[in-house]
Amino acid sequence: METTTMASVAAAPILKWAGGKRQLLPRLLASQPPSWNRYLEPFAGGAALFFALSRPEAYLSDTNGDLIRLYQVVRDRVEDLIGRLTAIQTAYRALLPEDQAAFFYALRDRYNARQADDLEQSALFFALGRLAFNGLYRVSATGRYNTPFGRYKNPDIVRAETLRAAHQVLQDATIVEADYRAAGTAAQRSDLIYVDPPYAPASKTANFTSYTADGFGWKDQVALAEWVREMAGRGVYVMASNADVPEIHQLYRGLWIQVVPVRRAINSDASKRTGATEVIITTYPVEGAVRG
């Protein structure tokens, strides 16, 4: 494990991720059980709640392998990663504005070629997130990153202090590429699992729920709800987020549900970033929650 400079900022998500939970953190933190042991987050994404809790020996997993490898690299080789990102940033800033788009697409092609080692692939993954339009991570049906260039003049591609802060809190974390069922195997009585899956669509057009090429459909939602109840039966605390739609309320009937306001942060049209609601579901009573 490498030695790194101590971070001077508090730990926070290192990248923008669709469905990120930064704005809901106060409600999520208030919805914890009074006392619990280990923290597990099987749909890690941006891991906002993990970074806010900063609990040691946490368990993070996701089916997005590049995301998981990035967290592993931040945990184990953060200074090497910062070095690679610094080189990318220096090269980008030296270009004329009319040449920066070509630079971005060359990075994207290298990323999609998947011939780099974990360190280089993670640097490309992170840098693309800093340069892509609206910071959006999106893949095609074949798994190729296809977000266009964001045309940022002077972006902070490196985010060194944020990466170092994340490095500190990830030191004792177990980080694995796996679906949520693996977290169930790792969980023990009185642990807390936070489940933040791709959401059930709120409308026919609201289908931006696939951050991996294989998607997450209604059968997966049903299986996940059954798994949540299974975990509760084993004495594991579970908190879940999902869309505020009747189907989800019915699926989690008998558990505690809070309806919370949110503002969608990722949309190509700023005028469409309107208010909405979603739900926080818990297998234990929470003040302000209603049992479904």
Please give the annotated binding residues, written as ranges.
17, 21, 62, 196
* Residue 195 CB-density burial (10 A; 0-12 exposed, 13-18 middle, 19+ buried): buried
* Binding residue numbers for S-adenosyl-L-methionine: 17, 21, 62, 196
From CA 172, how far away is CA 186, in angstroms rounded? 15
Please state the length of the chain. 292
CB crowding 218-235: b at 16 or more within 10 Å, else e? eebbeebbebbeebbeee
Alpha-carbon distances, residue 233 vs 35, 36, 238 (angstroms): 18, 16, 11
CA dihedral 136, 137, 143, 149 (to 10 degrees): 50
Pairing of strands 174-177, 59-62: parallel
Tokens representing residue 240 in the block: 């879940």
Rg of the chain in Å (alpha carbons)? 19
Instruction: Give alpha helix (H) positions in the chain.
Output: 25-30, 48-53, 65-93, 97-113, 118-131, 160-170, 180-186, 218-233, 246-251
Angle between helices 97-113 and 65-93 (to 10 degrees): 150
